[in-house]
Amino acid sequence: MPQKTKKKATRGTDEVFLNLMKVSGNSLLKLLGMAADKAKQYHFQAVVLKDKSLKPDIEGFPTLASEEGRVFIEFQGYPDPFIRHRLMAEVFLGCASEEYKGFVMAGIVYTDKQYQEVAEPLNAFQCLQEGEQCELKGCFREIVLSEYTEEELERIDPKLVVLAPFTLSPQTDKTTLLVKGHEWQQKVIQKFPTEKRWEALNILGLFILNRFRKISYEEVIAMLNFDLMDTVAGKQLFDMGQQKVIEAFREAVVDVLKARFELVPNEMLDKIRAISQVDNLKHILIQATLSPDIDSFKGKLS
């Protein structure tokens, strides 16, 4: 059977959740229902399966490991009907690779209810005796972040405040969001130790950008009140923000041309969409506004 590539989240939430596990893995275990005394015994590690023949599409997956057992966690921020099947495969392959025979806990953290609803149940198996079936049920602990309030998350563990953006509707107005963002920033500073504080703020910022598509990178900086560019996650934020600005300028140029000259050649549209420097796009926008006709603009574009 052809090998399949595991689908990635379109906005990079997988990597952010992995960073969150490193910063506060114990908090996530509490969210999944594990007692605090057991949760503190776990540490994060990335597992890479040793037997390549047992690895059809998994380069490695997050697990928390201790003498108490193994915990496998998937974070789901996009629709995947077979997420439960994939997690079960990861658990079985991981245990086989490590020859591990002990306790296993597996959990799925959905950012929204819609992603849980689209997930298919695990298959039922026909037993040898006619009419009997073997079914896998209740194997996972499943969490939907949007079903929690900020207060409920913080009661479980104050460090879970970094997940607070998912407790608000994606349509939350910008004024409310800016106020909440500043509150979250203050709580992160209070609840995280100094050596983990900046990474936690980066994670919070990326979750905000992921949850609220209309907010800009600059607004996130103002909201969190620190320089994101000192970290890898901050550079990712900057790149996402820059891309939004570039796309906005491209759309503005095309809109002006269509409003003034109606028909815009496809070749010209392709050239505009290929421009990736903000300064160049600003210049082209001015020329689109001032050029007396489409041919004159074409010359300036060249």
pLDDT higher than 70, residue 276: yes
Q: How many structural domains does the chain have?
A: 2
Nearby residues of 2 by Cβ (< 8 Å), 6 or more positions away: none
Residue 236 lies in a domain: no
Q: Quick one: average pLDDT of 279-300?
A: 85
**Model pLDDT, residue 160:** 94
pLDDT higher than 60, residue 190: yes
Judgement on whether residues 26 and 136 belong to the same structural domain of the protein: yes
Structural domain span for residue 139: 1-147
Judgement on whether residues 3 and 110 belong to the same structural domain of the protein: yes
Can you say how many angstroms the Cα of residue 26 is from the centroid of all Cα atoms in its chain?
19
Of 147, 164, 179, at which residue does a domain stop?
147
Q: Summarize pLDDT for 153-181 with one digit per residue, the tens.
A: 999 999 999 999 999 999 999 889 988 99
Residue 164 lies in a domain: no
Residue 21 lies in a domain: yes
Q: Quick one: average pLDDT of 273-286?
A: 84
Cα–Cα distance, 28 to 206 (Å, whole number): 18
Q: Summarize pLDDT for 221-259 with one digit per residue, the tens.
A: 777 765 544 555 555 555 666 677 788 788 888 888 888
pLDDT higher than 90, residue 279: no
**Model pLDDT, residue 235:** 56
Residue in the structure block whose two tokens are 């994606």? 170
Q: Give the SS3 label for residue 208.
A: helix
Q: Quick one: average pLDDT of 147-152?
A: 96
Judgement on whether residues 8 and 143 belong to the same structural domain of the protein: yes
Q: Give the SS3 label for residue 299.
A: helix
Q: Summarize pLDDT for 85-109 with one digit per residue, the tens.
A: 988 988 888 888 888 888 888 999 9
- Mean pLDDT computed over every residue of the chain: 79
Distances (CA, A) of 244 to 29, 237, 238, 248, 251: 35, 11, 10, 6, 11
Residue 198 lies in a domain: no
| Residue 195 pLDDT grade (very low, low, confident, very high; cuts 50, 70, 90) | confident
Cα–Cα distance, 51 to 59 (Å, whole number): 11
Q: How far apart are the first and last CA of the chain?
A: 50
Residue 163 lies in a domain: no
Which residue would you say has higher pLDDT here, 209 or 46? 209
Cα–Cα distance, 297 to 150 (Å, whole number): 52
Of 147, 175, 208, at which residue does a domain stop?
147
Residue in the structure block whose two tokens are 């953006």? 165
**Model pLDDT, residue 3:** 37
